[in-house]
Structure 1
Amino acid sequence: MYLNCHTYYSLRFGTFSEVELLELASQYGCSSIALTDINNTSACLNFCRKAQEFNIKPVVGIDFRNGAAQKFVGIAKNNQGFYELNSLSASYNHNNITVPNRAPELKNSVIIYPFETVLEENVTHFKSYEYIGVSVNELRKLPFTKYINFKDKLVIQQQVTLRNKKDFNAHRLLRAIDKNTLLSKLDKAEECNPTDIMWPLSELKQAYAQYPYIWENTKHLFEQCSIVFAFGENRVAQNQQTYLGSKKEDVKYLKQLCYNNLAKRYSNPSHKVKQRLKTELETIEAMDFVSYFLINYDIISYAKSKGYIHVGRGSGANSIVAYIIGITNVDPIELDLYFERFINPYRASPPDFDIDFSWKDREDITQYIFKRFNHVALLATYNTFKYRAVVRELGKVFGLPKEEIDRLAAEKQSTKPLDTMASLVVKYGKLIQGFPNYVSVHSCGILILQKPVHYYSTTNMPPKGFPTVQFDMIIAEDAGIFKFDILGQRGLAKIKEALEIIKYNQPQAPPIDINQIETFKKDPNINALLKNGRAIGAYYVESPAMRGLMQKLQTQDYLGLVAASSIIRPGVSSSGMKQEFIKRQRYPETRSQANPKLLEIMPETYGIMVYQEDVLKVANQFADLTLGEADVLRRGMSGKFRSRAEFNAVEQKFIANCKAKGYTQELTLTVWNQIKSFAGYAFAKGHSASYAVESYQSLFLKCYYPLEFMVAVLNNGGGFYSAEHYIHEAKMCGASIQPPCINTSQFENRIQHKTIYLGLGYLKSLEKIVIKRLLTERNFNGAYKSLDDLIDRVPISIEQLTILIRSNALRFTGQPKTELLWQAIFKCNANKAKTPQAKLFKPQQKQFTLPTLKTTAIEEAYDQMELLGFPLCSYFQLINEKLQPHIKAKQLKQFNNKKVLLYGSLVNTRFHKTSQGKRIRFCTFIDQEGQYFDTVHFTKVVEKYPIHGLGVYACYGKVTADFDFYSLDITWSRKLQIIPDPRG
C-alpha cells in the first residue's frame, strides 16, 4: 500500500538500498509496494528481480521533482507504462527542462499529485488516471478541504524515505552535501519529514479507518499494476535479435563471411581448422549469438573503411570465427585457445569482445553505432561515497577548516584521538559511506537493444552527448542485456600516427602493412627489443616491471610475450607462480618438479596456471567439475557473480572431488589457493594474445622507424613514462631535440629528418588562442622574419611574447634571448601592443641599441624547467657536486653480490606494500650513458632515504641477480645538488 518509496538511488536523498526496502516491506506485512526514486530508475530492475525472493509484487515508477519539490509521482501500470515514464523523465533530463506542475497524458501509467500541491493550486479537474495522494499526517487536514468529496481520486501517499532517526540524520547530511551548505544552514524545505517512514500494514490500515475508500482506491490501483522482467535462468536476451532482420538470413550471412575470408587467414586450411570452424558456427547458431557476431563485424567493417586500427580482445579472441571475419587478429589454432572459454553450453551470455580503437577515433565509432542501430544507449556505473569523499564532504557540512579536513582524509587508519567535530565527521560518515553519489558512464559499455531503451530505464544525457541508462553491468546481465565494449587507448593512436609521420618524413620508405603480424613475430631484431628490455614506448611492454620480466624470461618470441602479458598480472605474481614459471622457462630440467597431472593438463605453461582458461581446464580435468561449475569459478574470480553462496558451493565440491580422486590435502589446497589467488586478475589467453599482437605492431615501428614512433608516442600523451623520458629515449635513438620554434613547430611535436621540434603546446603558460593565431598567420603568410615582423603580424601581449622569447622560440633571429626580451619590452610598451585586434597598416617599429647580452646554458635549462616542465639537457649536466668513484649500469653483472655506488637520473618510482602492510619502493634510473638500472628500497631505508622528485641520485647498495636481471638493493641514497640559477 506504499506508492512512494525511495532508495538511496534517490541520490543524496534516500537512505537505504532497494533490497533493504524489500526487507522492510516484508517485515511490515506488505504484499506489494511501489519503488519511485526521485528522477531515477537505477534500482528498478534489481528491485523487480529481488522482489520474487520476498514474495512481494513489485510496482515501479518515478517521483518527478525539481530539486526537493515534488511535482507528481508516476506509477507504471505495466511495462508499456514504465516505457512512458522513462521517456518522459528522459525528455526532462536531456533537455534540462524543469518538471511542470501537471503531467502530460499517459495511457499506461497512473499519476499521483501530492495533497498539499493540489490544495495550493486549487485543482478541480482530474483525468481518469490522475489521483490525489494523502499521507497519514495530512489526514487531519483533509476533512476541512473540498477534496474530502473527491472520494474516487484519493489514495494513500505515505512517503517512505527513512526507517529511523539514524536514517533521518543521514538524510539531512546528504541534503546538505547536495546543496553544498553547512548543516546548520540547511533549508527545511530541502528535507523530507521525519515521519516519512513505513508503518506496519495493520497500523497503516487503522490510520485510514475513517476513510475506507482511500484504502480501497489504493488497493485497486495496486491491482491494476503488473511489471514483468525475466531474470537469471528465465531471462531472455534483450540485445538486438537479428542483423539482417531474419535469423535464417543472419546464419547464412555469417557462414558466407567465414568461407569467403577463410583463405585470407589460412591459405591451406587443415582439417583441424575446418572442423573448429564448423563446430563454432554450429554452436554460435544453437546459442543464438549470430547477431552478436555480425553486429561486432559491422562495427569493425566501418572502422576499417575509415582507416582506423583496432584490437579485438576479451574471451571472444578465442574464436576462430572472430579471427576469420576480422573482429580479432589472434589465431586460436596457433595458440591452442580453449574453445569453451568463450562459448560453452553452460554459458548464457555472449562472449566478450573488448574492441580497442585509438582514443581519437573512439567517439566517431560511438557516433556510428548510435546512427547505425535503432535502440542504443551507453551503460551506467555508480560512483559511490568513498571514505575520503565522505570525510571531505562532511567536513564542509560541519564547517571544519580545510587543514583539518585534509588531515582526516589522509589518516584513515589513524589511532590519534579526535576532537568533537572530527569525531562527528567520522561517526556520521559511516552512515553514508558506500551510498551511490552520482550515476556516471561506464568506461566502454554500449547497449544495442531489441526494444527501445526506455523500456528498461530512463536516460541521462552526460557531457559525452550520448543517452545513458541508469543501471550498471551486473543488473544488465541479470536481465539479459549484454554490453558491447568499445574502448579507446593511446597505443593504437601511436601506431596510426607513426604511420602517417613516416609517410611525410621518409617518403622514399616502402609502404607499410602494419597487419603483417606473422612477419613481425619472426623478426629477430624486433624480438631482441623484448629480450633486452628496450621496448620503451611500445604498448603494454614498456613498464619497468614488464621490461624486467622479459629480461628474466629472455622473451624473444610471440608465445613468450603472450605468457608474459598474463604472468605480470597480480594473480599469478601473488601466488608465487610467476617466479616458478620463470624458473621452469629458463631451466627446463626443473619442469619435472611439476605435478604430473597439472603438467599433462597445461604442458605449454609447465603445469602452472597462467591464463583464465587454465582455471577451466584444472577445475574440469583435475577436479572433475562440469564446465558450468568451472565457469562459476572463472566468473567468481572476476567478481562477476551474484551469489557468494554459489561460489562457495563450487569450492566445497572442488575439494570433495579432489579428496575422492585420492589427492593429498596439501596438493588440493595448493591448487585451490592458486585458483583463488587469481582473484580476477588473470587474463584469458586470447586477451593476452591480442595485447601481444598490438605490442608487436608497436615494436616493429620502434625497431625500424624509432624517431617517427617516438614522436607519435609524445603526441599521444606518452604512456607509462613522462614526456621528458620519451624525449630522452628519442635522443638515444639518434634524434636531435629542438625546443619550440614559431617558424618550425606545430601545436604538437613534429620531425624533419632526424630533428624533432617540440610542439608549442608544451609551453605551459602559452595560451591556446595565441598558438592558434601564430600558426594560422604563419600558414597563410609564411615564416616570421624577425621580432618586429611577429609583433606586426600577430596580436600578442608582452606576457605571452615573453614566454616565446624565454623558451627560445625566436632563435631564428640570431639575437640573444636577453636582447630580444629588452627589445620586446621597449616595442610593446611603445606601441601598446596588447590588443587582440590585428593592425590595418604596418607600423614603423622603433629601433633600440643594446649591449650584447648572452644567456648561459644553466639559465637556458632553468627557463626550460619553468616553461616546459623539464630541461632538454641531462640532469647530469646540472649537478653541482663532484662524482665519487662509481660504476655504470652495464657493469652491474661484474659486481654481483657486492656493494657498489651508481649515479642515476630518476625515471620512475613506485611503492609496493608487503603482506605485513609495510612499504617497499622500486625505482628506475638512467646513468650518464643513458642505460637503465633498477633499485629496490626495502622497508628499513624507504623513510630514511626518501626520493624527492626528478634529478640525479647517488645510489649505494648491494648488486643482486634474479634470473640474470641485475638490480641494486639500496643501503643509502642521496639526491645531488644542482647548480643554482645564476640570475637568483
Structure 2
Amino acid sequence: MFINCKTWFSYRYGTYSTEALVDAAAERGLSSLGLCNINSTADTWDFVDFCRKKKIKPLVGAEIRNEDIFRYTLLAKNDTGLLEINRFLSEHLQEKKAFPERPDCFSAVIILYPFESLAAQSLKEHEFIGILATELNRVKKQEIEAFPKKWIIRHPVTFQNKTYFNVHRLLRAIGKNTLISKLGEKDFAAPDEMFVPEAALMSAFRNFPGMISNTLQLIDSCEIKTELNTDKNKKHYSASKEDDRILLEKLAIEGLQYRYGNNPIAKARVIKELKIIDQLNFNAYFLIVWDVIRYAQNRGFYYVGRGSGANSIVAYCLKITDVDPIKLDLYFERFLNPHRTSPPDFDMDFSWKDRDEVIDYIFKRYGKDHVSLLGMYSTFQRRAVIRELGKVFGLPKEEIDQLVRGKDQPMNEDKIQRTILKYGQLLENFPNHHSIHPGGMLISEKPIYQYTVNEMPPKGFCTAQVDMFLAEKIGLFKLDILSQRGLGHIKEAIRLVKQNKGIDIDIHRVEEFMSDPKVASQIRKADTIGCFYIESPAMRQLLTKLKCDDYLRLVAASSIIRPGVSQSGMMKQYIERFHDPKKIVYLHPKMKELLEETYGVMVYQEDVIKVAHHFAGLDMGEADILRRAMSGKYRSHNQFNAIKEKFFANCREFGYEENTTAEVWRQIESFGGYSFSKAHSASFAVESYQSLYLKTYFPMEFMVAVINNFGGFYSTEFYFHELKRTGAKVNPPCVNRSEYLTNISGEEVFVGFIHIQQLEAKLCTLILEERESNGPYLSLEDFIERTHSGPEQLNILISVGAFAFTGLGKKKLLWKANFAQKRLTAIPDSPALFKEPAMDFVLPDFPDYPLEDALDEINVLGFALTDMFRLCAHDGSGTVFAEQLPSLLGKNVEVLGQLVVTKDVRTINREHMAFGTFLDPKGDWLDSIHFPPSLKRFPFQGKGFYKIRGKVVIEFGAYAVEVNAMWKVGLKGKREVEPISMLSTISI
C-alpha cells in the first residue's frame, strides 16, 4: 500500500536513510514498498538490495516536481520502465527544463497524478489518480463508478515521527534559505506522511474497495529483475571477448620486449597475469585503459598511471604505468585475484589542463548513452549544520559562532540553542546535495540510464546520481581520470626548456634520472621546493632524516609520511630502525618474514594484507576487506567487525600471545584512511624524480613552470623566491615584455599579468593583442592611445613598474598619465592617421624612497620581488643564519625569519603545539618547533617577520630551533632609509 516513500535522497526533504526505511517496513510486516524520491533515483539500488534481503517486493520510481509543485509519481513496471524514468529525469535535469504537466514518452511506466489534476476519463491505460485518505470526502462517487480502475491509494511516507517531522521542516527551511517561521503550509509535507498500520490505511478506504484492489494489482504488475553485484561494464573493447584476449596478449608481449627484453621471469609473470585477467573478464577493462593512455600519448599529454593497477606487469608493459612491479616486488594479487571482493581500478593522473579533453574523448569514444562521471554526495557535518540551523532560527552570526565553538566548552544555552544542538545532532551525516566524485568514470554495456540518472553540473559532463559504493553494488567499475598540478608543471617546464634553450627532453627516461648522481644529491640535500609530493617541510625533513638518495627509499618515504603511519608512531620507529638496526624488533618471527624490507614496520597497504593473510590466517578476500576498510573505501561495519573477530580468533588458535595480537591489530587500525599502496607510492616517486631532474638541470625554467601552474605546497611569493635563488633576474610586469603567464628569456624573467591582482582580464587581453598586432608600445602616451586604459587600471600598471622601459620614475608617469587621461575625453572610433607629438613638460624632481617599489609590489601583486628583508624593521643584529645551526647544536640562539607556513598538531595530552617554516635573511629555509608552553605564551600572529629565541636541536640529521620565545617584527615605512647593517649586504 505504501508506494510513494522518500528517503534522505529527496535532498533537504526526506528524513529516512534508505536502510532505515526498509527496516521500518519490515518491522510492520509489509510485503511490498515503493521508493519515489523527488526528481531522483539516487539510492534505488540500495533500496532494491535492502528490500530483497528483507523479503519485501521493491517498487521503484520518482516523484516529479517543478520546484515545490508536485506533478505526478512515476513507477517502473520493470527494468525497461526504470531506464525510461532515468532517461526522462536526465533529459530534464541536464537541460534544466521544467517537467511537462503530462508526459507522453513511456512504454513501461505507471503514472500517478494527484487528485483533481486530471479528469479520470482522459487517462490512458498506464495513467492513474492517487488519492490520499484526507481527500476521500471530496471524491465524487459517480466518477469512481464511471472509471473504477483509475483510482489508487496514495499515502506518502516522508518522515518517521513528530520529531522527524520537525527535522523535515528544518530541512525545508535550509533548502529554501529562509527562517523557519516564514515557511507556509505548502512549503512542507503534511504532518501525517508517516507509516500507519496497513490495516488502518485499508480501513480508511473501506468504502472504496476498488481502490484497494487497484493498488494491489498495480503492485503485482511491477517487478525489477536486475541482479546486483554482477558485471554491468562494457563487455568488449573489440568485436568479442576472444578478440579482446588476443589483442591484449599481443600488446602485452610487444610491451614485454620493450620493457624487459627476453627476461624469462617477466615473461612468466605476464603469461600468469593474462590468464587471470581473462579468467575474471577484465580484458576489455585493460584495453579501454590502454586506449585512453594511447589517446593521451598521441595528444602529447603527460600522465601517471597509478593505483593498485601499478601492481600489474601487464599494465607496465602496456605503458599504463611506469612502475616496474618486479623491481619493487609488487604482487599482482593486490590488484586482481579470484578472492578479491571489490573491483580493481586504475588511477590515471593528467595535467589539470589536459584532463577535461581526456574525459571528453571517453564520452565521445564510448558514447554519451554509456558513459558518465561518477557522482557522490556531500553530507551535513556538525559545524556546517549548526550554522545552517542558526540561520534558520534567525540567530546573529556571533551567537552562531559561539555555538559552533561550544562543543568542548560549557555554555549557558537558551531554548533555541538547545533546539539547534538537538536537531543538529539528528541531521549530522544527512546527504546535503549531489556532487561529483573527484575522478571516477563509468562505462556500461547497456545504456547508463538503466542504472542511474545523469545530471549536468557546471563542470559540463554528465554525472551519475549514484556514488562509488552503489556503482560497485550495481556491478559498474570506476575508471579514475584525475588531475594534478605536478604533471602540469612538468609539461610546462619541458615547453619552456624547448623554447628558451632549444633542448628536447624525454621525461620518461626515469631509470636514468634515478641513477643520476646530481639528482641524488638534490634529494639528499632536500632541495626539493616545487617538486611533486616531496616539497612540504615535513617531507623535506623526512628526506633528510632518511638520508634519502635512491628510488626505493623515496618510495618508502612517500608512504610513511602519510598521517596514518606517522601518527601511529610507526614513522618514528622506521627512522630509528633505519639509523640503528639494533632497534629492529619483530613482534613475532612470522612478522620478520613478512616485514624485513621495512624493518618490521607496516608501511604499505600490501603489508596489512600480507599480515592479515599470512600472520592471522584470513583469506585474500577477507584481507582485502581489511585493506579497503583502512583506506576508507568500505562501509559495511558489520562485515568488518566479523573479520576483526575472526582475526583475533585465528591468532588465538595459532597460539600467539594476546598482547602481540593486540599490537598487530593496533598497527593495522592506525592506518586509518591514509595509507598508500606500495604501487601508489612508487608511482608518486616516479613523478617526483621527473620533477627533480628538471629542477636539477633546468632550475629557472622549472620554477617558472611551477609558478605558472599555481599549484604547490607554498604560496606564489615563495616560488618566486626560489626562482631568484637560481640566479634568474626577476622583473616586475612590463607592458612590452610580459605575457599573461610569467615568461623567461635567457636568464631574464618577467612576471605575468595574471599576478596583478586588480588588472581587468579584458584590458590584459587587449594589451597582448594590440602588442601582437602593432608592435611594442613606444611610450606611456602611445599605450594610452592604443588601449584607452582607464585611470585606475593605468595607475595600477604604473605602480607595479610596467612602464619602467620609458626610463621615467613612477611619480612622473602618474603625473603624465593624469594629464593624458584628461586630454582623452572620448574614445575615437578609429586610429589617428597621424601621430601627434606628445606634449613635453618640465616636471619637478620627485623624491624617490628606498622601499616604495617593494611596498607598491606588495599592494599590487601581494608580494615583493625584492629581498623582503629590506622591509624588516629589525636590522638582524645579534641573530644567526640557518646555515650556522650545525655549529651551534645545543646552544641558545636568536634567528630572524619570514614566516612561510605553520603546521598545528596535538600532543598525546591533546594540547596544541606547532611546527614552523621560515626563510632567513640569506634566503635559506629554517624549521622551528613550538611546544605547548611556548606556543601559549608566544603564538603565531599571521604572516610576516619574527624574531625567534630558542635552542638548536637535531633529529636524525635535521636541524631546527626549539622555540622558547618569539616576537612579531613590523615593516619599515617607505620613507625610512635602509640602515647599513648585515642585511644590506645580503643578496639572494
TM-score of the pair, normalised by structure 1? 0.97
Q: Identify the residue that residue 377 of structure 1 maps to in structure 2.
A: 372
Q: How far apart, CA to CA, are the structure 1 residues paired with 2:841 and 2:45?
A: 77
Q: Describe the shift of the 1:935–1:297 C-alpha distance in structure 2 as closer, same or farther (beyond 3 A).
A: same
Q: How far apart, CA to CA, are the structure 1 residues paired with 2:933 and 2:104?
A: 70
1:483 aligns with 2:478: yes
Q: Identify the residue that residue 434 of structure 2 maps to in structure 1.
A: 439
Deviations 1:158-182 (A, max 9, x none): 1111222212211222222222222
Q: How far apart, CA to CA, are the structure 2 residues paired with 1:135 and 1:149?
A: 20
User: What is the 5 A alignment of 1:735-754?
Assistant: 735-754=728-747
The code of the aligned residue for 2:352 comes to W
Question: Residue 894 of structure 2 contacts residue 950 of structure 2 at CA under 8 Å; is this kept in 1?
Answer: yes
Q: How far apart, CA to CA, are the structure 2 residues paired with 1:414 and 1:739?
A: 50
Equivalent residue in structure 1 for 2:672, among 672, 679, 693: 679
Q: Identify the residue that residue 183 of structure 2 maps to in structure 1.
A: 186
Q: How far apart, CA to CA, are the structure 1 residues paired with 2:672 and 2:555?
A: 20
1:417 aligns with 2:412: yes
Equivalent residue in structure 2 for 1:528, among 507, 514, 521: 521
Q: Describe the shift of the 1:18–1:799 C-alpha distance in structure 2 as closer, same or farther (beyond 3 A).
A: same
Q: Describe the shift of the 1:406–1:556 C-alpha distance in structure 2 as closer, same or farther (beyond 3 A).
A: same
- Compute the displacement of 1:897 (Å): 2.3
Q: How far apart, CA to CA, are the structure 2 residues paired with 1:915 and 1:71?
A: 57
Three-state SS of the structure 2 residue aligned to 1:381 is strand
Q: Identify the residue that residue 259 of structure 2 maps to in structure 1.
A: 265
Q: Please, which runs of 5 or more residues in structure 1 have no aligned partner?
A: none
Question: Residue 63 of structure 1 contacts residue 72 of structure 1 at CA under 8 Å; is this kept in 2?
Answer: yes
The code of the aligned residue for 1:128 comes to E
Three-state SS of the structure 2 residue aligned to 1:604 is helix
Q: How far apart, CA to CA, are the structure 2 residues paired with 1:147 and 1:738?
A: 85
Equivalent residue in structure 2 for 1:337, among 330, 354, 365: 330
- Compute the displacement of 1:110 (Å): 0.4
Q: How far apart, CA to CA, are the structure 1 residues paired with 2:924 and 2:48?
A: 61
Question: Residue 120 of structure 2 contacts residue 147 of structure 2 at CA under 8 Å; is this kept in 1?
Answer: no
Q: How far apart, CA to CA, are the structure 2 residues paired with 1:663 and 1:412?
A: 42
Q: How far apart, CA to CA, are the structure 1 residues paired with 2:396 and 2:567?
A: 42
Q: Identify the residue that residue 147 of structure 2 maps to in structure 1.
A: 150
Question: Which stretch shifts more, 870-879 or 30-39?
Answer: 870-879
Deviations 1:738-762 (A, max 9, x none): 1100100001100011111100110
1:900 aligns with 2:893: yes
Q: Identify the residue that residue 971 of structure 2 maps to in structure 1.
A: 978
Q: Identify the residue that residue 473 of structure 1 maps to in structure 2.
A: 468
Equivalent residue in structure 1 for 2:960, among 960, 964, 967: 967
Q: Identify the residue that residue 80 of structure 2 maps to in structure 1.
A: 80
- Compute the displacement of 1:937 (Å): 0.8
Q: How far apart, CA to CA, are the structure 1 residues paired with 2:574 and 2:423?
A: 49
Q: How far apart, CA to CA, are the structure 2 residues paired with 1:515 and 1:601?
A: 33
Deviations 1:462-494 (A, max 9, x none): 111111111110111112111100001100010
Q: Please, which runs of 5 or more residues in structure 2 have no aligned partner?
A: 978-988
- Compute the displacement of 1:69 (Å): 1.1
Q: CA RMSD in A?
A: 1.8
The code of the aligned residue for 2:155 comes to Q
Q: Identify the residue that residue 911 of structure 1 maps to in structure 2.
A: 904
Q: Identify the residue that residue 208 of structure 1 maps to in structure 2.
A: 205
1:255 aligns with 2:249: yes
Q: Structure 1 stretches (4+) deviating beyond 6 angstroms?
A: none
Q: How far apart, CA to CA, are the structure 1 residues paired with 2:903 and 2:322?
A: 34
Q: Describe the shift of the 1:428–1:648 C-alpha distance in structure 2 as closer, same or farther (beyond 3 A).
A: closer
Three-state SS of the structure 1 residue aligned to 2:230 is coil
Q: How far apart, CA to CA, are the structure 2 residues paired with 1:413 and 1:230?
A: 48
User: What is the 5 A alignment of 1:392-403?
Assistant: 392-403=387-398
Q: How far apart, CA to CA, are the structure 1 residues paired with 2:770 and 2:951?
A: 58
The code of the aligned residue for 2:285 comes to Y
Q: Identify the residue that residue 64 of structure 1 maps to in structure 2.
A: 64
Question: Residue 312 of structure 1 contacts residue 356 of structure 1 at CA under 8 Å; is this kept in 2?
Answer: yes
1:781 aligns with 2:774: yes
Equivalent residue in structure 2 for 1:426, among 421, 428, 433: 421
Q: Identify the residue that residue 44 of structure 1 maps to in structure 2.
A: 44
The code of the aligned residue for 1:214 comes to M
Deviations 1:781-806 (A, max 9, x none): 11001011001101210000000000
Three-state SS of the structure 2 residue aligned to 1:902 is strand
The code of the aligned residue for 1:28 comes to R
Three-state SS of the structure 2 residue aligned to 1:743 is coil
Q: How far apart, CA to CA, are the structure 2 residues paired with 1:528 and 1:837?
A: 62
Deviations 1:186-235 (A, max 9, x none): 2322211112222111111111111111000000000000112323xxx2
Q: Describe the shift of the 1:750–1:656 C-alpha distance in structure 2 as closer, same or farther (beyond 3 A).
A: same
TM-score of the pair, normalised by structure 2? 0.96
Question: Residue 807 of structure 1 contacts residue 864 of structure 1 at CA under 8 Å; is this kept in 2?
Answer: yes
Q: Identify the residue that residue 129 of structure 2 maps to in structure 1.
A: 132
- Compute the displacement of 1:891 (Å): 1.9
Question: Residue 308 of structure 2 contacts residue 346 of structure 2 at CA under 8 Å; is this kept in 1?
Answer: yes
Q: Identify the residue that residue 3 of structure 1 maps to in structure 2.
A: 3
The code of the aligned residue for 2:465 comes to Q
1:226 aligns with 2:220: no
- Compute the displacement of 1:822 (Å): 1.0
Deviations 1:126-147 (A, max 9, x none): 1000001001101111136734
Q: How far apart, CA to CA, are the structure 1 residues paired with 2:397 and 2:537?
A: 37
Question: Residue 792 of structure 1 contacts residue 842 of structure 1 at CA under 8 Å; is this kept in 2?
Answer: no
1:240 aligns with 2:223: no
Q: How far apart, CA to CA, are the structure 2 residues paired with 1:329 and 1:744?
A: 39
Q: How far apart, CA to CA, are the structure 1 residues paired with 2:131 and 2:440?
A: 42
- Compute the displacement of 1:423 (Å): 3.3
Q: Identify the residue that residue 197 of structure 1 maps to in structure 2.
A: 194
Q: Identify the residue that residue 505 of structure 1 maps to in structure 2.
A: 500
User: What is the 5 A alignment of 1:286-297?
Assistant: 286-297=279-290
User: What is the 5 A alignment of 1:103-118?
Assistant: 103-118=103-118
- Compute the displacement of 1:593 (Å): 6.1
- Compute the displacement of 1:983 (Å): 10
The code of the aligned residue for 1:378 comes to L
Equivalent residue in structure 1 for 2:609, among 595, 605, 616: 616
The code of the aligned residue for 1:263 comes to Q
Q: How far apart, CA to CA, are the structure 2 residues paired with 1:480 and 1:29?
A: 30
Three-state SS of the structure 2 residue aligned to 1:311 is strand
Question: Residue 625 of structure 1 contacts residue 654 of structure 1 at CA under 8 Å; is this kept in 2?
Answer: yes
Q: Describe the shift of the 1:77–1:365 C-alpha distance in structure 2 as closer, same or farther (beyond 3 A).
A: same
Q: How far apart, CA to CA, are the structure 2 residues paired with 1:837 and 1:216?
A: 79
Question: Residue 898 of structure 2 contacts residue 920 of structure 2 at CA under 8 Å; is this kept in 1?
Answer: yes
Q: Describe the shift of the 1:592–1:157 C-alpha distance in structure 2 as closer, same or farther (beyond 3 A).
A: closer
Question: Residue 816 of structure 1 contacts residue 854 of structure 1 at CA under 8 Å; is this kept in 2?
Answer: no
Q: How far apart, CA to CA, are the structure 1 residues paired with 2:193 and 2:648?
A: 50
Question: Which stretch shifts more, 434-443 or 249-258?
Answer: 434-443
1:823 aligns with 2:832: no
Equivalent residue in structure 1 for 2:214, among 213, 217, 220: 217
1:544 aligns with 2:537: yes
Q: How far apart, CA to CA, are the structure 2 residues paired with 1:593 and 1:242?
A: 48
Three-state SS of the structure 2 residue aligned to 1:5 is coil
Q: Identify the residue that residue 981 of structure 2 maps to in structure 1.
A: none
- Compute the displacement of 1:642 (Å): 3.6
1:327 aligns with 2:316: no
Equivalent residue in structure 1 for 2:792, among 796, 799, 806: 799
Q: Identify the residue that residue 163 of structure 2 maps to in structure 1.
A: 166
Question: Residue 42 of structure 1 contacts residue 457 of structure 1 at CA under 8 Å; is this kept in 2?
Answer: yes
Three-state SS of the structure 2 residue aligned to 1:928 is coil
User: What is the 5 A alignment of 1:267-286?
Assistant: 267-269=261-263, 271-286=264-279
Question: Which stretch shifts more, 339-348 or 57-66?
Answer: 339-348
The code of the aligned residue for 1:305 comes to N
Q: Percent identity?
A: 44
- Compute the displacement of 1:582 (Å): 1.1
User: What is the 5 A alignment of 1:867-882?
Assistant: 867-882=860-875
- Compute the displacement of 1:595 (Å): 4.4
Q: Identify the residue that residue 985 of structure 2 maps to in structure 1.
A: none
Q: How far apart, CA to CA, are the structure 2 residues paired with 1:461 and 1:892?
A: 57
The code of the aligned residue for 2:375 comes to A
- Compute the displacement of 1:604 (Å): 1.6
